[in-house]
Amino acid sequence: MNNEQDRLLVVFPDPAPIDVARTLDLSGYSWKAVKSNDALDKLEPTHGWAGAVVDCSQDPESAWAVCRSLRRRENPISRVIVLVSGAQLADLEMREDLFDDFCLAPVHPRELDSRLRHLFYSEMSVSRESLIEYGGLSLNTETYQASFGGTPLDLTYMEYELLKFLAQNPGKVFSREILLSRVWGYEYYGGARTVDVHIRRLRAKLGEEHANLIETVRSVGYRFGQSKWS
């Protein structure tokens, strides 16, 4: 585990959700749960918080206040993961500046661990076998990094996983249900709405010029790029 990961993560609320606490402990993260913004300041370590896991599903008002506090500090905290209910997905677009990634609550331990590793992943050398390329898009499967025309794309873990799956299957049409099964890998509480939210965010991050790489196929689902036979 690197030095960044050895630093303290802050978790809201206190006590921490059982699945969150267990995942952090098993993955070797050092962490501290807080009950409020006041505790956030009082318990902050000398070198600052390394990141945060904030459960917004139980007490949204207090949780988002903690997220705002993390972002408005003299040294804003990056690596903020929020846990939200399916009903909160529609509101995430208005709060995108307050977090770096999100999971649906109750959280799946394997998913939270993967997203934390994604946020803490350091840049490394990469072989051609680790690259997925389509036009100007480049995905590094070792470092979870993505770029378009050499410009980095700031993707969350699941945005990256969804884009990777689509880019590996250009020209194929996938329903929302198939994408949930193949990308998320288990029964997901957010349902088809989860896919739509991630597609919308991906298109925004690709930019207006390249958003049409992900095409909506009416009454079916989504398609990336063109088939290799086109």
Residue 230 lies in a domain: no
The pLDDT value given to residue 53: 97
Do 103 and 8 lie in a common domain?
A: yes
The pLDDT value given to residue 125: 42
Separation CA 52–CA 79 (nearest Å): 6
Which element (helix H / strand E) includes 176?
A: helix 176-179
Residue 138 lies in a domain: yes
Residue 8 lies in a domain: yes
Separation CA 147–CA 137 (nearest Å): 6
The pLDDT value given to residue 18: 92
Q: Say which amino acid occupies 176.
A: R
Which CATH number goes with the domain that contains 204?
1.10.10.10
The answer to whether 81 touches 51, Cβ cutoff 8 Å, is yes
The pLDDT value given to residue 4: 47
Dmax (CA) for the chain in angstroms is 60
The pLDDT value given to residue 202: 95
DSSP annotation of 9 reads E
Which CATH number goes with the domain that contains 27?
3.40.50.2300
Query: What is the mean pLDDT, run by run of 10 residues, along the chain of 230 residues?
Result: 62 94 88 92 86 95 95 84 92 90 89 84 52 85 82 89 93 92 72 87 92 92 70
Residue 229 lies in a domain: no
Do 112 and 167 lie in a common domain?
A: no
Residue 103 lies in a domain: yes
Query: Which candidate, 122, 72, 77, 73, places its Cα nearest to that of 100?
Result: 77
Separation CA 140–CA 123 (nearest Å): 10
Do 139 and 115 lie in a common domain?
A: no
Do 173 and 114 lie in a common domain?
A: no
Cα 66 from chain centroid (whole Å): 18
Do 11 and 114 lie in a common domain?
A: yes
The answer to whether 121 touches 155, Cβ cutoff 8 Å, is no
Do 32 and 104 lie in a common domain?
A: yes
Cα 151-143-79 angle, rounded to 5 deg: 80
| Backbone φ, ψ for residue 173 (5° rounding) | -100, 130
Domain count within the chain: 2
pTM (2 decimals)? 0.60
Do 179 and 79 lie in a common domain?
A: no
Do 108 and 132 lie in a common domain?
A: no
Residue 208 lies in a domain: yes
Range of the domain at 138: 128-224
